[in-house]
């Protein structure tokens, strides 16, 4: 797990590659405190930088950027390939010899044999770039589910890429200007939707895609899709299939040359990871959780009870309003792009880091894969309701305009947005999951673009969601569509991105065994009536080790007491916004989203 950066160019900046790469590398130092390296090609057409967090093969043989013995191919790689030993054995049967025990070298040799097709064989989380000194080409790829981020900026024949937005900005090559599309998406959803970023002309490479650079030509191509075509299967067979896939994924995610811990929130997903780990691992297991002084929010006792149930070495970190306030400046400095999430991961990552742990597993993904959110029931209901109302045009559109302008709650205003659009799953999902309404978002956009008022098409957010709909070959039910939207939007744009940035802020590698390509491919063909049954029933049935006293509790998300903290002890960090007279900012996440955006924007322009 590391930080990567690179510059590809045919321009005069070739003369400054050393200083440019040092600036980018320094911006990524927190991601890889164990080692660092820079490679500049003989013709100065390419420069790679790397900061290393040593997880597999802790020796100097894992130093990056890494090359083949003949110096033709060079790689800078961030991530983990969990099937690298199997791939290595296959390459050895073809006569390949290896100089390290790393997964990095396996990718390099696999690319040497298969070119762009190599990504189809990689199981794990990754973002990497490979330079071919002979062909003068660069291949850049990101993992199928978007666990590891990759950003890039292109101007003419120059391409700059990195693991974090801050590293590209550190090169001082792009002009710093807000991107209205990225900002609009952030205001509607609470995170910046791919492929946009908040900076004009800097893009996020979509999950399951690769880039190919040669001279001034850049080609982007998708290489992976999910197939939701249902098969005929009994419930018992489905349970067995899920359990086998879960155990397989858990075993692969424990591949490491350093100890692996687990984040334990007290929910079904993180408890499932602990239960599966107990089935696949021998010896000591470390778990980490967050607790609060406020009783109505505190799930610390529950996490401790689960730790006792499965015999883990448990560490609890109690966060008070005052302690959280002390952490806020460091958290704000760690933000790469703002979102309404991330502080919880930042806090619990600090706990694991202080305990000397370098790798942790998270239960992220269970709700998206197994139907744990209310969206799986509510979005299809909204869609059917919207389709019925659309038959009585223009009454439904008029009703929508009225709610959007006069609705007494943010939810009613977003419902007004939905009624004015064509009733689609994406429109219903955006309304249900939304933060600000379309009208409110436009007011905020005008606040940031006072000198150049921006006119955005009403459908941009819908198109932004559906740009990833091609990730699926077949979506037989509305529930399958919701699952894909949760995977492509909330999970990837917010949960995975914040998990990466906030864990890496502490030099910690966060793995997600429930977000696994092989796991998803194994269970995607199970009909949605089973796979997405309310309450994650299929997941629960596949893990009988889960205690009944946990399953009988009402579902609760893992939340911080932000509302009262922001209104009281944290009020100086979240002052009243001048837009508050026009927009309802009483809900903490609305106030938070504007304040975090402002802090980030000041930081970028500092």
Residues forming the active site: 2
The separation between CA 159 and the C-alpha centre of its own chain, rounded to angstroms, equals 23
Known binding positions for ATP: 290, 362-363
Nearest to 500 by CA among 170, 150, 167: 150
DSSP symbols for 168-195 = HHHTT-S---B-HHHHHHHHHHSSPPTT
Known binding positions for L-glutamine: 103
Q: Read off the tokens for 395.
A: 């009454």
Alpha-carbon gap, residue 205 to 281, rounded angstroms: 35
DSSP symbols for 566-583 = HHTTTTTTSPPPGGGGTS
Alpha-carbon gap, residue 60 to 35, rounded angstroms: 9
Q: Read off the tokens for 549.
A: 């006293």
Q: Nearest 5°: phi and psi at 232? A: -80, 120
Alpha-carbon gap, residue 67 to 105, rounded angstroms: 8
Q: Read off the tokens for 116.
A: 């762009």
In a 3-state reduction of DSSP, which class is residue 222? strand
DSSP symbols for 49-97 = EEEE---S--SGGG-SSEE-TTSSEEEEEEEEETTHHHHHHHHHHTT--
Q: Residues 6 or more apart from 551 whose CB is under 8 A from it?
A: 268, 540
Q: Read off the tokens for 416.
A: 């007004």
Q: Whole-angstrom distance between the N-terminal and C-terminal Cα of the chain?
A: 29
Known binding positions: 103, 290, 362-363
Buried residues in 20-53 as b, exposed as e (16+ CB within 10 A): bbebbbebbebbbeebbbbbbbeebbbbbbbbbb
In a 3-state reduction of DSSP, which class is residue 128? strand
Q: Are strands 217-222 and 202-204 parallel, antiparallel or unpaired?
A: unpaired
Instruction: Please give the angle made by the CA atoms of 405, 411 and 417, to the nearest 5 degrees.
Output: 50
By CB atoms closer than 10 A (0-12, 13-18, 19+), residue 82 is buried
Q: Read off the tokens for 305.
A: 């009870």
472's enclosing H/E stretch is strand 472-474
Q: Are 448 and 199 in contact (CB under 8 A)?
A: no
Alpha-carbon gap, residue 351 to 344, rounded angstroms: 11
Tally Cβ neighbours within 10 Å of residue 350.
Answer: 20
- Nearest 10 degrees: CA dihedral of 84, 88, 91, 95? 160
Tally Cβ neighbours within 10 Å of residue 465.
Answer: 24
Alpha-carbon gap, residue 189 to 187, rounded angstroms: 6
Q: Nearest 5°: phi and psi at 200? A: -55, 135
Q: Read off the tokens for 96.
A: 């390949």
Query: Number of H helices and number of E strands within the chain?
Result: 25, 19
Question: Facing residues of 4 across strands?
Answer: 50
């Amino acid at each position: 797990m590391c930080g990567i950066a690179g510059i590809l160019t045919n321009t005069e900046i070739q003369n400054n590659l050393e200083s440019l790469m040092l600036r980018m590398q320094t911006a990524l130092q927190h991601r890889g405190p164990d080692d660092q390296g820079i490679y500049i090609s003989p013709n100065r057409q390419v420069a790679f930088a790397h900061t290393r967090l040593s997880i597999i093969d802790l020796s100097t043989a894992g130093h990056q950027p890494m090359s083949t013995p003949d110096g033709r191919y060079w790689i800078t790689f961030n991530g983990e390939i969990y099937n690298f030993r199997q791939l290595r054995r296959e390459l050895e049967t073809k006569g390949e010899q290896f100089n390290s025990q790393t997964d990095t070298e396996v990718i390099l040799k696999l690319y040497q044999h298969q070119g762009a097709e190599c990504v189809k064989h990689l199981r794990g989380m990754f973002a990497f770039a490979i330079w071919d000194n002979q062909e003068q080409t660069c291949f850049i790829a990101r993992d199928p589910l978007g666990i590891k981020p990759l950003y890039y900026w292109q101007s003419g024949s120059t391409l700059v890429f990195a693991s974090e937005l801050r590293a590209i900005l550190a090169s001082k090559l792009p002009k710093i200007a807000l991107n209205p599309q990225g900002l609009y998406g952030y205001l509607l959803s609470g995170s910046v939707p791919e492929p946009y970023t908040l900076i004009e002309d800097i893009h996020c490479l979509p999950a399951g895609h690769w880039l190919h650079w040669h001279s001034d030509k850049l080609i982007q191509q998708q290489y992976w899709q999910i197939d939701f075509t249902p098969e005929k299967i009994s419930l018992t067979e489905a349970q067995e299939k899920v359990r086998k896939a879960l155990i397989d994924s858990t075993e692969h995610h424990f591949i490491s040359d350093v100890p692996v811990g687990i984040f334990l929130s007290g929910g079904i997903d993180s408890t499932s990871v602990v239960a599966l780990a107990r089935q696949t691992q021998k010896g000591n297991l470390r778990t980490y959780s967050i607790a609060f002084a406020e009783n109505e929010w505190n799930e610390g006792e529950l996490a401790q009870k689960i730790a006792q149930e499965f015999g883990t070495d448990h560490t609890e970190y109690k966060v008070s309003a005052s302690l959280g306030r002390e952490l806020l400046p460091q958290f704000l400095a760690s933000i790469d792009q703002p979102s309404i999430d991330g502080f919880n991961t930042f806090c619990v990552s600090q706990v694991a880091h202080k305990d000397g742990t370098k790798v942790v597993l998270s239960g992220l993904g269970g709700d998206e894969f197994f139907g744990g959110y209310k969206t799986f029931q509510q979005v299809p209901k909204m869609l059917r309701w919207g389709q019925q109302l659309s038959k009585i045009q223009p009454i439904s559109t008029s009703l929508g305009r009225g709610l959007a302008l006069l609705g007494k709650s943010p939810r009613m205003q977003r419902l007004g947005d939905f009624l004015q659009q064509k009733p689609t799953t994406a429109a219903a999902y955006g309304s249900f999951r939304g933060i600000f309404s379309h009208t409110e978002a436009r007011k905020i956009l005008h606040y940031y673009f006072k000198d150049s008022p921006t006119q955005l098409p009403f459908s941009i957010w819908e198109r932004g969601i559906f740009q990833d709909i091609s990730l699926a070959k077949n979506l037989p039910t509305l529930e399958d569509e919701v699952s894909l939207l949760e995977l492509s939007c909330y999970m990837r744009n917010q949960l995975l991105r914040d998990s990466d940035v906030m864990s890496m802020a502490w030099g910690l590698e966060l793995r997600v065994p429930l977000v696994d390509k092989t796991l998803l491919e194994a269970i995607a063909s199970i009909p949605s009536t089973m796979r997405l049954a309310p309450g994650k029933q299929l997941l629960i049935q596949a893990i009988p080790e889960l205690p009944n006293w946990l399953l009988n509790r009402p579902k609760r998300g893992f939340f911080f007491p932000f509302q009262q903290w922001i209104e009281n002890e944290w009020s100086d960090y979240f002052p009243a916004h001048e837009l508050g007279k026009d927009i309802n900012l009483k809900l903490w996440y609305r106030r938070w989203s504007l304040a975090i955006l402002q802090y980030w924007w000041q930081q970028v322009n500092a």
